[in-house]
Structure 1
Amino acid sequence: MDMKTTTRPAFKQPAAPRTTTGKGKKNKRRRGGIGRFLIYLGTFVALIVSLIGGWLFLTPSGTNFRYLMADTLITTQHREWAKYIIGQEALDKRVQEYQNEFNAMGDERDTHTIHLSTAGANDAVTENQLVQIEPITGTGYRGYIMTVKDPTKIRLCVPAKAGRGEKVSSMVKRTGAIAGVNGGGFADPNWMGNGFQPIGIVISQGKIYYKDMGDKDSTQIVGIDKHGKMVAGRYSLKQIQDMDLQEAVTFQPRIIVNGKGLIKSPKDGWGIAPRTAMGQRADGAILFVVIDGRQPGYSIGANLYDVQQIMLKHGAVIAANLDGGSSTVLVKDGDILNKPSAQHGERYLPTAFLVYEHPEQVNIPNIWDGLKPQDIDPAKW
């Protein structure tokens, strides 16, 4: 009997499930790890920003720090940036407050007297006796203090070429000076440092070389009279003309008068910046303080309270601020001793206090003779 056979269709094995290779698992884990790291990092940054913001705006110390940053910006060419830290209204108020304080600091009449030493008054005094320079350091700053034993050996130098300022190193070399520092401020509308138009008044060799003020106006001056006594404070033009001033510029504020400091604490020190200041001891010696700044890792700068304390420590009975910032420079024997913060090195300036062994032999012509302030374009070279 025939056996009818039934054949079963061949059984089809199911496809093997796809497996993830080890490399794929590592990629997924890596992507997941990066994602979690970014989330943690973002959370951490947000937390830090919140904490810093809370500290800056909700605590007294944070508020003081914001105003310190704002004050520091006010002394630079980027003053308007301070509004992003304290607001435009607070910035305007801050600037006006400082101006009012500076005016008040110049009102008390100075009564100090000087007693020139025999060595200082002797025309035969050597250069080493006349000028002494020593480095100074403090929290965040480096600089120098220059002592000039005889104040009558100082002259205010001005540029040699009409239409532009002059570097202090050039003035020193050109006129044969021993040393020099920058003097008063100047109009600089485009922040290019033309340095030819002073602000206020310039007196050299007993004569008014430049003024942009009326007879009834007042200005803060820093200088020396014909007897070697330092003069600093706010005076009218008539008072200035009656004071027998020998060398002087306009600048502010006065920081020491009659042996007492006028700035009460660091928070009133007008920010951190490169500084130049002038003072006088009771023996007549003139002190120039020069502090570098705006150079992290070397010297950030100092506030006016720092400068005041340096002056008091070295015996100053009167002292006043001079133009600082990018203008700050100290030159000795033709060499620049400090590190100016200006982008291109020394700035071109309208005035400088220079020291001479024989100042009576120095001829410093008035480069502004015949020019009025309106005749000068401070934006052009």
Structure 2
Amino acid sequence: MSDSLITRRVSRRLLLGGAAGVLGLGGTAAWAADRYLIEHVEGTVTETASSAVPTGTSTDDSYTSSATSLTIEKVSTGSGSDAITYFVADITTTDATLIRSAFAQDEFGTNIIAYPSVIAKSKNAVLAINGDYYGFRDTGIVVRDGVAYRDKGARQGLAMYRNGSMTLYDETETDAEQLIADGVWNTLSFGPGLVNGGKVIDGIDSIEIDTNFGNHSIQGNQPRTAVGMIAANHFVWVVVDGRSNGYSRGMTLPELAQVFVDRGAQVAYNLDGGGSSAMVFNGNLVNNPLGKGQERGTSDILYVAG
């Protein structure tokens, strides 16, 4: 295992009214409270040069610098109960390491959360989306900005390389040290993969992710967040609003995959969705989560550094 893998637990803090409230719970309830409600800080974060003020030029829906250009498009289709609203960020860069990750409160662990916009502002991010909510589980390979934080392969992951490429991979067939040696800059661990080889992956309308206590089905019409690659250093990020009649019903996974195929993506991967789905541009929330304009706290973001 890589020496950079951070496993040391350095503190433990409570979210709910002190330890007494947790100790009063029994059986499954106590286990659930410990796993999903109590913050566990597992290690410090290795900083990258990620907080510099962006030096490019911005408009209401675009950003251009010497290394990166991006545009944001709002797409609305249908009406009434079949209305769908989603946002597409088209990103081109000459340096894939400008696509970075940040943890809530700059701490790695379980159940540590902050609003995506708050995390994004702390990094002076040009553009950000919610990540894979790694802190809701204790498995998965977590490599962020070239550093390994967790090495417990469990599911299909997404590897984002320093050379600007992206691939789907089986976490159980490799480890964090090997991924970093192969040039991986970031991994995401949620899923499923949506597109591979430019085609919608069969069977994604029946896959479930983390169907443990406290999780809900990812199937049906849902708010969504996903990332894709058209070509090396050319990315597409999509955030779909949902659960709001007359504004946006959300999308099924096959519908989401087709959005990426229509945009020319060769690879695409589903991230945490529902009320967590958020897109932030220049510090401002772009989408309308659940039709209420209110963000939900999450563990991490993926962002474009200026």
TM over 0.5: yes
Where in structure 1 are there 5+ consecutive unaligned residues? Answer: 1-122, 189-196, 358-381
Count of aligned residue pairs for this structure pair = 223
Q: Distance in 1 between matches of 2:100 and 2:204?
A: 33
Residue 222 (structure 1) aligned with residue 174 (structure 2): no
Letter in 1 for 2:101: L
- Which residue does 1:142 correspond to in 2? 85
- Residues 347 and 199 of structure 1: CA distance in aligned 2, closer, same or farther (over 3 Å): farther
Deviations 1:158-213 (A, max 9, x none): 1225562121101111111101000103465xxxxxxxx665232112111234x2
Structure 1 position 284, deviation (Å): 2.8
Partner of 1:57: none
> CA 1:199–1:134 in 2, change beyond 3 Å: closer, same or farther?
farther
> Alpha carbon RMSD of aligned pairs, Å?
2.8
Matching residue of 1:169: 117
Rounded to whole Å, the distance in 1 between the matches of 2:146 and 2:252 is 32
Matching residue of 1:332: 281
| Structure-to-structure mapping, 1:255-334, within 5 angstroms | 255-263=194-202, 270-334=219-283
So what's the TM-score if we normalise by structure 1?
Answer: 0.53
**What is the aligned partner in structure 2 of residue 101 from structure 1?**
none
Aligned pair 1:202/2:142, yes or no? yes
The CA distance in 1 between the partners of 2:154 and 2:203, in whole Å, is 25
Percent identity of paired positions between Structure 1 and Structure 2: 26
Instruction: Letter of the 1:171 partner, please give it.
Output: I
Question: Which has the larger strand fraction?
Answer: 2
Give the letter for the 1:309 counterpart. Q
* Distance in structure 1 (CA, Å) of the matches to 2:133 and 2:201: 22
* Cα pair 1:198 1:350 within 8 Å, conserved: no
Give the match for residue 97 of structure 2. 152
Secondary structure at 2:117's aligned position in 1? helix
Aligned amino acid, residue 333 of structure 1: N
Larger Rg: 1
Residues 182, 199 of structure 1: alpha-carbon distance in 2 compared, 3 angstrom cutoff? farther
Distance 1:153 1:198, change over 3 A: farther
Change in Cα spacing, 1:126 to 1:248, as seen in structure 2 (3 Å) is farther
Distance 2:166 2:242 in 1: 27
Distance 2:298 2:256 in 1: 22
Query: Which is further off, 239-248 or 130-139?
Result: 239-248
What SS does structure 2 have at the residue aligned with 1:341?
Answer: helix
Distance (Å, rounded) in 2 between the aligned partners of 1:352 and 1:306: 24
Aligned 8 A contact 1:294 1:301 in 2: yes
Change (3 A) 1:343 1:198: farther
Q: What secondary structure sits across from 1:160 in the alignment?
A: helix
Which letter maps to 1:257? N
Question: How far apart are the structure 1 equivalents of 2:292 and 2:72?
Answer: 26
More helix as a share of residues: 1
With the length of structure 2 as denominator, give the TM-score of the two structures.
0.65
The answer (yes or no) to whether the contact 2:165–2:231 under 8 Å persists in 1 is no
Which residue number in structure 2 is paired with residue 368 of structure 1?
none
